[in-house]
Structure 1
Amino acid sequence: MRMRIRQRMRRNRERSRERSEEDEERSREWSRKRIGSREGIRERSRERSEEDEERIRDEELEHGEELEQGLDQAEDEDQGEDEEEQERRTGKGVRR
């Protein structure tokens, strides 16, 4: 009788140890997946940030070029008006 009880207790301890080891392995695997997932999220976020920065830079360059063209056009118009005004004052303009 005592022998059976001891055998049963020994089997229960072994099963408990096996379950514990399985639980630890599952926990480690879950942690690895979670860490991998976080790293993947960080990488995607980093890629999005780089793409956003590049897009913003391109938009700023495009906007800057538009502003420069607008300024050049305004300067040309101002210069043309100044020349016309100068010609009117001096009376040396070509009359049509």
Structure 2
Amino acid sequence: MLDHVGEITKDVDRLVIRMDRAQKSVDAAKESLRMCQISMEKIQRRRFKLDLMEDDKSHLDSTSHRNQAQRNHLETPDPSLGLKQQELSMNG
């Protein structure tokens, strides 16, 4: 009977050790998952910032093109103004 109790005690000790190892594995997996979630959040924040920067750049590019077109239009002499100047100089 005592031998039987000794065997049961050894079995329980082995089970406790296995449970402890399993708990450590679970804890390590939870920590790994937490670190992955943190990394994912950082990546999402960077991606969001890059999307915002891309939107800003796109907006600036379109504004820059529009402003350049306006400047080009202003720098190009109006042909009708040239005729008016010629008429004034002929009349004046």
Report the TM-score range of the alignment, normalised by the length of the smaller protein: 0.7 to 0.9
Report the TM-score, using the length of structure 2 for normalisation.
0.80
Q: Partner of 1:84 in structure 2?
A: 78
* Letter aligned with residue 31 of structure 1: V
Unmatched tracts of structure 2, length 5 or more: none
Match of 2:48 among 50, 53, 57: 53
State which of 54, 67, 73 in structure 2 corresponds to 1:72: 67
C-alpha RMSD of matched pairs (Å): 2.2
Output the amino acid matched with 2:84.
G
Q: How many residues align?
A: 88
String of CA shifts for 1:23-75, please: whole Å, max 9, x gaps: 11111111111111111111101101101111221122122112111100112
Instruction: Structure 1 unaligned segments of length 5 or more: list them.
Output: 1-5
Q: Distance in 1 between matches of 2:64 and 2:80?
A: 25
- Determine helix, strand or coil for the equivalent of 1:92: helix
Is residue 2:6 matched to residue 1:11? yes
SS in 2 for 1:91: helix
SS of 2:6 mapped into structure 1: helix
